[in-house]
Amino acid sequence: MITKLNQTVATIITTGGYIWLAQRSQTCRTFKGFWQAPGGEVEDGESIFTAVKRELYEETRIVWQKDIRNYQWIDRVPDATCECCTLYLAETMREPIVREPDKIKGKWELFSIPEVMCLPRVMPGIKNILAQHEELICLKY
């Protein structure tokens, strides 16, 4: 039974057709050790677009330039929480900075789309979005 609905956002950041991901630390509440894109919960009274800009900046110090495309999906997490996530796609020419080292193991790393598809533990939705949307798979890499 679902006990709570969270609204979350994430951003797939690309550079030259490669995707920036970071591995969640073992201290995270959920999805310990999973590879993730920057993102988090939408705060009370906050719009989805404001939340995605805030989370991207808080976690990477990258300033949102423009909305390329967004996708939505529903995830169920182990504690019976249901998350409605909006995923954005953004391009950057600079390396993301780890701003929350307690939540990230190591640093942001670049992966080709085939490499992401082979990673064993990627946040739910990311692989599905990449597999279902041909235009993302056709990014230069």
The tens digit of pLDDT for each residue in 29-78 reads: 878 999 999 988 889 899 888 888 898 899 998 887 665 566 665 555 55
Encoding tokens for residue 84?
A: 């409605």
- Report the pLDDT value the prediction gives residue 95, as an integer from 0 to 100: 87
- Report the pLDDT value the prediction gives residue 119, as an integer from 0 to 100: 94
Say whether 69 sits in a helix, a strand or coil: strand
Residue with tokens 């999973």: 34
Phi-psi region at 45: left, alpha or beta (left = phi > 0; alpha = psi -120 to 50): left
Say what the pTM is. 0.80
List the single range of 29-38, 108-117, 129-138 with lowest mean pLDDT. Answer: 129-138
Expressed in percent and rounded to 5, the helix, strand and coil fractions of the chain are: 20, 35, 40
Into how many domains does the chain fold? 1
- Report the pLDDT value the prediction gives residue 118, as an integer from 0 to 100: 93
CATH number at residue 115: 3.90.79.10
- Report the pLDDT value the prediction gives residue 136, as an integer from 0 to 100: 58
Residue 88's domain comprises: 4-137
Mean pLDDT, residues 76-89 taken together: 62
pLDDT band at residue 107 using 50, 70 and 90 as cut-offs: very high
Q: Is the pLDDT confidence value at 132 over 80?
A: no
Residue percentage of the chain with pLDDT more than 70: 75
Mean pLDDT, residues 103-112 taken together: 92
Q: What is the mean pLDDT of the chain?
A: 79
User: Which residue did the predictor score with more confidence, 131 or 84?
Assistant: 131
Q: Is the pLDDT confidence value at 23 over 90?
A: yes
